[in-house]
Amino acid sequence: MDDWQLDALCRGAHAYLFFPPSTFERKEERERREMKAKAICGVCPVRMPCTTHALQIREPFGIWGGLTETERRSMPLVG
């Protein structure tokens, strides 16, 4: 685990918001969950290293640095 991850606001009680559930999720439910997760990312002190990490390793799942899987795929690769 990288040091920045210890300060991430997605750790703990709200972690479930950042990844889809193992059961079916309606579009409206997904959008609501993603909006809540992105709001947390918006005030997170480690948003930039999180985004960089997700882009570098091509993280295929979840919301990282306020970006969904689809949003990350459309971004250029990082170093």
Residues in the chain: 79
Q: How confident is the model over 11-69, as pLDDT tens digits?
A: 988 889 999 999 999 999 999 999 999 999 999 999 999 999 999 999 999 999 999 99
**Which pLDDT does position 75 carry in this prediction?**
80
Give the 3-state secondary structure of residue 23.
coil
Angle at CA 61, nearest 5°, toward 57 and 65? Answer: 70
For residues 50 and 16, give the distance between their C-alpha atoms in angstroms, rounded to a whole number. Answer: 17
- Answer for the pair 63, 33: CB distance below 8 angstroms, yes or no: no
Q: Does the structure show a pLDDT above 90 at 76?
A: no
Q: Does the structure show a pLDDT above 70 at 79?
A: no
**Which pLDDT does position 12 carry in this prediction?**
84
